Amino acid sequence: MALSICHVQRFLPYCLRRSWIDILGLGLGLKFFGSCTMPSIHTKCRNSSYPRSSVQRFPVPDEKVSWCASWPDYKPVSYTSPDILDKPFADPEIGVRNFEPKWHHLDGEVDRRSHVGTYPIQNGIPLVRNFEPKWHHLDGEVDRRSHVGTYPIQNGIPLNPVGRTGVKGRGLLGRWGPNHAADPIVTRWKDGKAIQMDTQRPILQFVAIQRRDSEEWAIPGGMIDPGEKVTATLPREFAEEALNSESLTEKQQVELLAMLKDLFSKGLEVYHGYVDDPRNTDNAWMETVAYNFHDEDGTSVGRLSLQAGSDARSVQWMDLSSHLALYASHSCFLETVARMHGAHW
């Protein structure tokens, strides 16, 4: 049975606040290790300019984020970046702002009549043949399932399960609905378990990249390709962003991934679910699976020479600390990792 918008939103914060949870009754099977907690409302995808654009989000106060809150005056800006429209990984557009064609008629010099007769119009938009997404399912090789369970569908378009963002459309995201990523958190001990004086706990370091688009520091993750398993995405993205594997020959790439194979076979899932990402919109949002790969004695990846890939401005080993200001929800993931290892935070 599909959940209503309000049911989804009341259920979601509960899921994200639990340390270990297994909701068998709803068939979600959500399990989280540690204490990673997400806010019941998102903050990084509201009340700001949309990334890499001059688009200003429609202001959304905290009390109006939830779709349960009645707001007849809500007028989100419609925006889908032109940069994604012709990309092979992107969905087709469902609607275009300020476009009022005369369907089934001669529209000025544009003939909108069809040889097949009358074609279906839904909410002012002709239904696109061959684009009938299977929301909540594996749609061919495109995964339209969400880690948070059932998300609302309104007028054939998915709604962000956490709530309003001030922008409708897809923004910079290729898929309507959930856009799946994977985040490898690669850690080692600093200087053979150096102790932080205030907390008297050993200091963990993680491989961090500085993003080119926002210049924020982040975990070196990326999008899961259609049909790709998460276990393949994690080492691939780490190699591309933190080791600049794309600059290597095909043979060198194979050798590098083989060298990483042992470390990346021993990962522990830290989180899977919704991400408070600045690219999120009312109709498209980021979700991720975050794994920790720990190099206990510093003999594997701890000795590799880091080199920033094409999507990164810089890369380095960085101390885990609560003072870090990181991209999206990455601080939350790292806090969980620190507590898992009994490290300083």
Q: At what angle do helices 250-261 and 230-242 cross, to 10 degrees?
A: 120
**Each residue of 115-174: pLDDT tens digit?**
666 766 665 655 555 678 999 999 999 999 999 999 999 988 999 999 999 999 999 999
pLDDT exceeding 70 applies to what percent of the chain? 79
- Interatomic CA distance for residues 293 and 29, integer angstroms: 23
Give the per-residue pLDDT at 93: 79
Q: What is the DSSP string of 114-165?
A: -TT----EETTEEPPTT----TTSEETTEE---TTS---EETTEE--SS---
User: Would you call 34 helix, strand, or coil by DSSP?
Assistant: coil
- Interatomic CA distance for residues 296 and 279, integer angstroms: 35
- Residues linked to residue 40 through DSSP beta bridges, in sequence order: none
CATH says 5-92+101-340 is which class? alpha beta
Q: Where are the domains of the chain?
A: 5-92+101-340
Give the per-residue pLDDT at 119: 64
pTM assigned to the model: 0.81
**Each residue of 213-233: pLDDT tens digit?**
999 999 999 999 999 999 999
**The pLDDT of residue 311 is above 60:** yes
